[in-house]
Chains A and B, each alone.
Chain A
């Protein structure tokens, strides 16, 4: 398996522009997570999906952020309009809840998208 795939790897945009980040999870995984990482705040969970359904989006900082998962193999994180404080590395991760136990197993992270908003 190719692992979690994210695109683009780098994005530089100007304030006010729309940004769309993309993620392809590992085939067969039923959980997908979007994180943001900055030096100041560390790794923050933004939103996560189970079987394509958003479960908790309380980490999404503002209404400018939205995420979708139209099918099991694709998710997007959109920022509209973007602001300089959105500059960060955005990670997508996927995992599989196994065995019926309500216990979270390891998460597989993508390489991240480094976003710079000027």
Chain B
């Protein structure tokens, strides 16, 4: 079953602008992770935020988590053409037993130079 739903499905911005992607989920989680996938490549882990954290930074990435709204956002500041990729959120559901990460369908980001 699909847990994370990214929004928007596609986003096109100019180089230098900020890009914001959102993820909503349905159940309680242990952590939420964001991944990037360049065309023709595998997914690459970007950042993990635990359920007791509200915000996390890594370079130009900023992730927020609102467990009361069951949502997360990924902000990429000062975007570059190289940021063009699909971005996925993945949730580690609490009390899921052996169920591993559940991935959303992703947001396709295009950064135009």
Asked whether, in the complex, the Cβ of B31 is within 8 Å of the Cβ of A103, the reply is: yes
Contacts of B31 in A (CB 8 A): 103-104
Total interface residues on A, CB under 8 Å, equals: 23
B45 within 8 A of A: yes
Asked whether, in the complex, the Cβ of B42 is within 8 Å of the Cβ of A106, the reply is: no
Asked whether, in the complex, the Cβ of B88 is within 8 Å of the Cβ of A109, the reply is: no
Looking at chain B's contact residues, the main secondary structure is strand
Total interface residues on B, CB under 8 Å, equals: 24
Contact digits for B76-98, partner A, Cβ 8 Å, 1 yes 0 no: 00000000000010101000001
A residues with a Cβ closer than 8 A to B are 4, 31, 33, 42-43, 45, 48, 50, 55-56, 91, 93, 102-112
Can you list 23 A-B pairs with a CB-CB distance of less than 8 A? A4-B42, A42-B2, A42-B106, A43-B103, A43-B106, A50-B98, A56-B98, A93-B42, A102-B30, A103-B30, A103-B31, A104-B31, A104-B100, A104-B101, A105-B48, A106-B48, A107-B90, A107-B100, A107-B101, A108-B45, A109-B42, A111-B42, A112-B40
B residues with a Cβ closer than 8 A to A are 2, 30-31, 33, 40-45, 48, 50, 88, 90, 92, 98-106
